[in-house]
Amino acid sequence: MKIILTGGGTGGHIFPLVAVARKLRALGHERGVEDIQFLYVGPKFDAVVEEVFRREGIATRYILSSKLRRYFSFANILDALKFPFVLVEAVWVLLWNMPDAIFSKGGYGSFPVVFAGWLFAVPARMIHESDATPGLANRMAARFAKRIGVAFASAIVKFPVQKSAVVGLPVREDLGNADPQKAKKFFNIFSDRKTVLVIGGSLGARSMNDAVLPVLPKLLAQYEVIHIVGPRLYNEYEKNLGGLAPNLAPHYHSYPFLTEELSFAFTLADVVVSRAGASGIFEIASCGKPSILIPRPRSPQDHNRKNAYEYAKSGATVVIEEDNLTPNLLFSNIQSILEDADTRAAMSSSASAFFIKNSADVIAKEILELRGVV
């Protein structure tokens, strides 16, 4: 079998594709399909994502992308003129790499691939919507899809009910299940302190870094801090960090980005401070970790904020709007969670209850069954 994977915009679209690809390989082997080839078709990502694809044995064919913004921008004119060329490119790639199925994670780079698949009558067209409010690309692609899966229950009302289902969001099964001793060794952690994990998303988050920096001495006096700064911001942040006191530096562990080693970070984390991208939320929930979410302002269609408050209904997280984010407010929320065992336990239980464990399995089975591999 050859399966085309598509999705575009951020790394949040990529890791669910990886989770489904892994499950498809496992289920394919069980059902006698020994050779499943994957090809990612969509916008080009940075070197970190390319390395993820390489590790997973997923080939890539990058195409142009055009984005329709729901606000006035001269870029909309340019992207509208570009779209026919993007569509021709997608058709050309599919013509030379005719797949048995297409799985789309949405995002502005995915629609041309889904539409091209419809033109070729590719038998299994399935799309997945991660956000609490569906994006424009998936709402357009829905009419061409045979099956639609959504992560948040609130999103399902935007799609045809007869072919839609709440399936959660696929995450890597190994996330949060690493050996704690191996995890401590990786981060050079030798204490029994509680651990704060700060994640700024695949690109990093300047405002989060700026809020963490002033309270690092207070945090490091009590806790271990694992800080994923973001590849674009790492060098700048390290310069601004300056020299930490010798007694504090061993407790601070900063990285531009983590891929497979992210499972070590989640395993050790007692609380996670994160943006509110859908993939990040479901990764946190899958590990049953209490969290503090800081939605990214001006995210497309306000997805971050809507995701954060939808998840907060479960009781698993605290939401801090970026306009209200101050170093002291961040520190006090971290401290209140870590110093109250009952609060941590309740938030952890709520996170685990929110997560749908078999999401990747459900999606993979649906793709195989639509293709007739039963």
Q: Give the separation between CA 201 and CA 13, rounded to whole angstroms.
A: 12
What's the pLDDT at 32?
86
Residue 174 lies in a domain: no
Q: Are residues 302 and 362 in the same domain?
A: no
State percent of the chain over pLDDT 90. Answer: 63
**Considering only 74-88, 149-163, 187-201, which range has the smallest mean pLDDT?**
74-88
Q: Are residues 148 and 215 in the same domain?
A: no
Q: Are residues 333 and 365 in the same domain?
A: no
Q: Are residues 114 and 213 in the same domain?
A: no
Residue 57 lies in a domain: yes
Residue 210 lies in a domain: yes
The mean pLDDT of 302-306, rounded to a whole number, is: 90
Q: Are residues 226 and 127 in the same domain?
A: no
Please indicate whether residue 12 or residue 254 has the higher confidence score (pLDDT): 254
* 358 contact partners, CB below 8 Å, separation of at least 6: 168
Q: What is the pLDDT of residues 129-144, one digit of tens each?
A: 999 999 888 999 999 9
The mean pLDDT of 284-294, rounded to a whole number, is: 97
Q: Are residues 138 and 205 in the same domain?
A: no
What's the pLDDT at 9?
57
Our CA angle for 352, 24, 147, nearest 5°, is: 80
Please indicate whether residue 239 or residue 170 has the higher confidence score (pLDDT): 170
Res 311 pLDDT > 80: yes
**Pairing state between β 2-6 and 124-129:** unpaired
Q: Give the separation between CA 189 and CA 220, rounded to whole angstroms.
A: 12
Structure tokens at 15: 């890791």
The mean pLDDT of 227-243, rounded to a whole number, is: 84
Q: What is the pLDDT of residues 16-59, one digit of tens each?
A: 999 999 999 999 989 888 889 999 998 887 677 788 899 999 99
**Phi then psi dihedrals of residue 166, to 5 deg:** -80, 115
Residue 122 lies in a domain: yes
Res 202 pLDDT > 70: no
Residue 175 lies in a domain: no
Q: Are residues 9 and 151 in the same domain?
A: yes
Q: Give which of 11, 53, 70 is closest to 302, Cα–Cα.
A: 70
If one counts the domains in the chain, the total is 2
What's the pLDDT at 123?
64
CATH code: domain of residue 280: 3.40.50.2000
What's the pLDDT at 352?
96
What's the pLDDT at 67?
62
Residue 80 lies in a domain: yes
Q: Are residues 131 and 14 in the same domain?
A: yes
Residue 204 lies in a domain: yes
What's the pLDDT at 260?
83
User: How many residues are given for the chain?
Assistant: 374
What's the pLDDT at 11?
63
How crowded is residue 61: how many other Cβ atoms within 10 Å of its Cβ? 17
Q: Are residues 210 and 93 in the same domain?
A: no
Q: Are residues 297 and 187 in the same domain?
A: yes
Provide the domain limits for residue 231.
180-354
What's the pLDDT at 374?
55
Q: Are residues 364 and 340 in the same domain?
A: no
Report in angstroms the alpha-carbon separations of 280 from 70, 84, 152, 298, 346.
24, 33, 13, 18, 20
Q: Are residues 144 and 211 in the same domain?
A: no
Residue 350 lies in a domain: yes
